[in-house]
Structure 1
Amino acid sequence: MDAPLSPTQRAALEQLSAVTARCADPATDEGRGSVELLRQSGWDVQTAVSRIYDGGGAPSSSSSSGAAQHAYPPTPDDDDADVDDALLTVAARGPARRRGSGGPGGLGTSGVGLYYLRQVLAVPVAILSFPLSVVYNLGALILGLIARLFRLRGPSTTTLRPRNPFAQRAPRTVLSPVAAAAQWVKSIEEVTGLARRADLDASSSSSGLQAGPSSSGLAARRSSSSVPAPPGTGPRIPRFLIGSYDAALRTARDEKRLLIVVLSSAENERDARFKREVLCDEEVNRVLEEEDVLVWGGDVGEREAFQVGQTLSYIALPFVAFIALQPSSPTSSNPATASTASPRLRLLTRLEPSPSAPLTAATLHTHLLTLVLPRAKPFLARLKAQDAQRAADRLARDEAERRVNELAARDEAKVLAVRRREEERRRAEREAAERASREAEQLRARERVAALARRWRAWKRAELARSPEGTDVRVAVRLGDGRRATRGFGAQEGTDEVYAWVECELGAADDARAGGVEAEGESPEGWQQRFHFRLATTFPRQVIPLASQFAAPSPSAVAGDGADIGSAGHVSVSEAFEGLGRTVNLVVDGLEERRRMSMSSREEGDSDEEEDVESD
């Protein structure tokens, strides 16, 4: 052969070699013949197999169109791109007819000739069986009437009714896929007398074994595969999938599990025996549970199972097919070492009864252990291992991303904390600067007030020294430092003169510490002296009133006296000291308030030093 084979052509040659046991080497004569046969069949393996076993007939138009479509596989966007065309029903295929839609589809080499023989004999056998069907129906009607009259059981239509075994019967009912599958499982329960195990239903409901989005509402009546039924439990019903055939295919594809398709018919004479002895066999169910095999089935009298039977092209009933993921374009005849890229669901093998070899539990058990599982299990195990590795890698990436996010969040929190502390520090510095500025301003204001007060006291002392003392009332005052000062006042002089004299006596020590102030000829301009203390008699206690323009309101002065120290106008000495005699002893209240209001910053510093010395 001159031109080398493409990968698709090479895969078709190896598939044909695996089916027909021919040599796959294009260099040999047998290999060149296989290549030439595939080229004439449009590189369609099924058409080439039909040519070999049908004596080299020309490919049909449907096969030719199927070969053309097989040369161009479905795009990845197709929902069934990873499912072999021979497994898809007509409804799933859509308007376009794919390979095998009108022919033998996924038949093996042993059933190709029998399939065409069945198609040929369907019409004549139907014509010959029509008179027998009429006679049988009339007899059944008469016997049914007699049975009703005498309350007897009518004749069974399971084994006596004549039928055409080669005719493609239409479904008798139109049930939904879920209802049809549930009805078929219920028929198995009625025939076998077995019920679904209570622990199976409880585990299914408790573990929430419902099909996910990929299963299109498929409900799995099966318990967890990690808890198989203990050996020796006797016959039991397999864990059937209740749903549509397409949903079963998607479940097998998504969960990477082996799928067994079981087709039967209630009108078949082998149906009851097959359900009792094969489907409920203990050894068969043990293998199905241990290998976690999916099982889907139906009665071909229903629409869903009828379409599946047309797709899989069964020859005889009961029929069992085995489907699993296989390499899409295998480069080797061994699936265990083939590439796992883009696997496809394929029909592995099938089991059908024949006159010489009925379908028994031993046959199904042996077929599972020797043919199906060795072919499907290694490849499925590799796919599951890859999924587990991808899941572990994804988990590791998620964990690493989580740690990175945690570290980033922690670093961000640290940065925010540093920024917050820096902002708090700056705010504290601003507040401290503002507070210091306010305190400095207040200190300057107090110093200015204290300087004006000192100038006023110097002027008042000079004025008191120039004016003679009065003779009407003599006032004696005990100062806060223990000294006692006396002075005479006239009866018409105001009490403000008494307060001014006491202010000068109290401020003498402070003015001396400040260095003294030169007396001026008049009072400081714009200055109105206010007195931050109160004068009161010793006994009985009476606060000496003062004109309101000289009184400085102070919350700490004369606390609790209840006496009003201010008046509307001038208060004379005679009015203030009336009834107290010519000599009046006074005390000074509010010295601390007066000292606080009149001292300067330097005086405060000196007082602090004095307090420190006294404390030492």
Structure 2
Amino acid sequence: MDPNSLSSSQRQALDQLQVITNGGDAEVAISVLDSVSWDVQVSATASFLDIIFDQNPSAPLSISRPSETTTTHVENFDIDDSEQGLLGNEPGARGFRRTNLYPSSPLLIVARPLRFILAILAFPFHILRTLFRLLRIPLPQLPLTLSGLTLYYRAPSAPRPELKTDPRSAAERWVRSLEEETGAICLSRVRSRSGDGASTGVGPSSSSLTSRPAKQGEAAADDCDGILPDFFVGSYEEFARTCAKETDARIGCVILVSEEHDDVPEFKRSTLTDPTFVRLMQDNNFLVWGGDIRDRDAWSASQKLQATTYPFVAFVALQPRRSPSSRAGTTQATLTILSRHQGPSIPAASAPTSAKTLVSHLNDQLLPRVQPFLTRIRAQAVERENLKALESAQREHERAIRAEQDRAFAESQRKDKDRIEARIAEDRRVAEEARRREEAERIEREEAERLQKEKEQWETKRMIWRRWGRRTLLPREPRPTLAEPARGKTIRIGVRMPDGRRGVRFFGEGDSLTAVYAFVDTLFIPDGKEFSSDSDPAVPPEGAPSGEEGLVKAMYDAGRVGEDWWGFKLVLSYPRRDIIWETGKRIADVEGLKAGGQLVIEMVDVGAKAKAKGKAKDIGESKAGQQDEDDGYVTEESD
């Protein structure tokens, strides 16, 4: 900016800053003042930081990179905060109260010797800071107070020790918790549910976050409360490297929150689910990464991005490296912080992190300023890739010529070697097939023994439950001489067993359907003194609750409900109708049993059903229907 084009207030702020810093480059002072909206107090703080830390207030933030070499320089982060100060000047915006730090000339006179003394005292800290950087030790965050100038760096809360996990799991866990808290889902999942296309989420590897199927009972995409951006699922370092790829140069958006701040829940519900904000980032191919600073990776990112207030939003992208030695026409790109926004998201019209403020900032300032350079970077990267591909094709052509010359010479040797290897491979194949047959037979025997053992254990367990059900679940038959209005009218139910035996019992129409099933179940108890009803257990097996509740709990604990538990099903003989067991259902509520009836028992072989389903799956869908016809049921016709 030309110093002659400054207004009177800007000229006065420039003079004050130059007096404090003992002169200095006018263009550097203008750049500092412009980045903080011409606030002398903030720029003076930056100047004192310049004195203490190597006279470089915008020192790059180090980012570790993998060992492989790339053409993109992303080791450092430059900070471009030229637009950040504009977010807090609107009416009603919340921010720090700004006052004139140097209201009178005496303070200006004291500032010069104070600066000199402070520089001498800071020399040991400069050496210590250099040593910390070499050893990659984080600098301690301490408050410094000097003559009314307070330089305070607040370190975010340390990461939670109980959540020390890999960055990818932490990022995915945070996004899932964000979906649960806001009721919104990521944009790619909305598209996948609606059939518009596959997931567009980008990550270091495929993630189940955007491709996981909707669970039973989960709301459809159109019924959700909103949409969220497609978050990058990976570490912050991987996110930075992805943004810095010149072949796919993209604008990155970093979202950091802290559950200790009261402004975070409103920010999640209003800003992160704002359709305009989400669509704007999606349409411009933003790469979004977020996290809670209680996680180690997000806490490290907050240190690198110098976040002090939450929620915090930063936009990063490749930008030309700001170096006076850069020659015209050369573009050396480095990953740069384009802007930082931190603070509350309300009021919506002026808050630093409200959706309206961010959308306005992106449309009016950031996108017009950054997109042309990124387009040029991508074009140059594509051109370099094409040139490399051309050179590689030429080298491949030369290599093919040499290989063709060598191929004719080695052809005869290769044929002899192939014949020998073929014989060896055939011998190995025969031996491997024999070994596999033996292994398959062994596994089949072990599986048969295991199934037989499980069947015996299951039969033993069922016999105990049958005897308990005979004592507890099976009510006594209604007595004609005893009025029992609670049980209702007496009905007669006959049962025909698969082996031809018949059983008849009287029930009250108010009795439960479970009593009928329990009666049929008792018919499978063998005769003999060992199975006498007098020795039936009165206490539910396995410590289950009493009554039908204990039976239902045992079913679900065993993973066998309904006919899988009973081992049979009841069918009305004419007209044929299945009597499906349901807990709590009365006999009077069963269609066909209101006045009694004749029931036929059809056995259910659970193991045969599972085996039949497995075979149907192996031989294909075309034969599945034929296999389902023989589902292991034993009917009267088969007898």
**Structure with greater Cα Rg:** 1
Q: Please give the TM-score of this superposition, normalised by the length of structure 1.
A: 0.41
The two structures have a TM-score, normalised by structure 2, of 0.40
